[in-house]
A and B are shown apart, each in its own frame.
Chain A
Amino acid sequence: MNLFRLFGDLSHLASIFILLHKIRTTRSCRGISFKTQALYVAVFVSRYLDILWEWVSLYNFVMKVFFIASSCFILYLMKMKYRPTHDPSIDTFRVEFLVGPCALLALIFNYKFTFTEVLWSLSIFLESLAILPQLFMLQRTGEAETITTHYLAALGAYRALYIPNWIYRYFSEGVVDPIAVTAGLVQTALYADFFYVYFTTVIQGQKFELPA
């Protein structure tokens, strides 16, 4: 464990709390892509199901349980409690175009051709693209509530912090996880445009608005 990874994970935790706070205080899930949130459930369940047969550490266990539980809870809030506030007509990214290629990639690139390892690879590839429906929605509406942009910034920071973590681990432990690193670089790159607008508007106290 190094500080980059710790702060990355904490940033990930923070993003979930920001999202829950947004839904609770505005009593609405407006501006949040259900498809992205559903993909995160798929990602966490397929990757963290190993808590049933693998013990890494208490930290690892608690975090995994939290991410599975919180992502399912967010889905429940969106689908049941605050259902009327979700507008499927703007959440139109075609998820099937992501899942198919990711499944194919997982079958080709994995560390062992076993069910759990292919599932792990799938979750890595899927996570790298899971934010796309959300970014697509942002692009469509052209604006976002400030709290939603903080959620995305925390999520993007988590991914960005994993990069120095990998560099650190390469020098301190001499290991590289090529699948996680490749997918992680792609995932972080997807946030580039968002971060540009975030830093030039929200951080300066303005509303997040994309140029027409």
Chain B
Amino acid sequence: VWKVEGHDEL
């Protein structure tokens, strides 16, 4: 559930 890979938001 934790998003730890890649940053697609600004």
Contact = CB atoms under 8 A, between A and B. Distances in A.
Interface of A: 5, 9, 12, 47, 50, 56-57, 60, 63-64, 67, 111-112, 120, 162, 165, 174-178, 180
A149 to B, nearest CB: 23
Contacts of A64: 10
Contact of B3 (A12, A60, A177): A177
B2 A60 contact: no
B4 to A, nearest CB: 4
B9 A180 contact: yes
A5 B9 contact: yes
Interface of B: 1-10
Majority DSSP secondary structure for residues of A touching B: helix
A175 B9 CA distance: 13
A63 B10 CA distance: 8
B10 A12 contact: yes
B6 to A, nearest CB: 8
B10 A111 contact: no
B10 A176 contact: no
A20 to B, nearest CB: 18
A57 B8 CA distance: 9
B1 A60 contact: no
Contacts of B7: 47, 50, 120, 177
B9 A178 contact: no
21 contacts: A5-B9, A9-B10, A47-B7, A56-B6, A57-B8, A60-B8, A60-B10, A63-B10, A64-B10, A67-B10, A162-B9, A174-B1, A175-B1, A175-B3, A176-B1, A176-B2, A176-B3, A177-B2, A177-B3, A177-B7, A177-B9
A174 B3 CA distance: 9
A178 B5 CA distance: 12
Contacts of B5: 111
A176 B1 CA distance: 6
B2 to A, nearest CB: 6
A82 B6 CA distance: 39
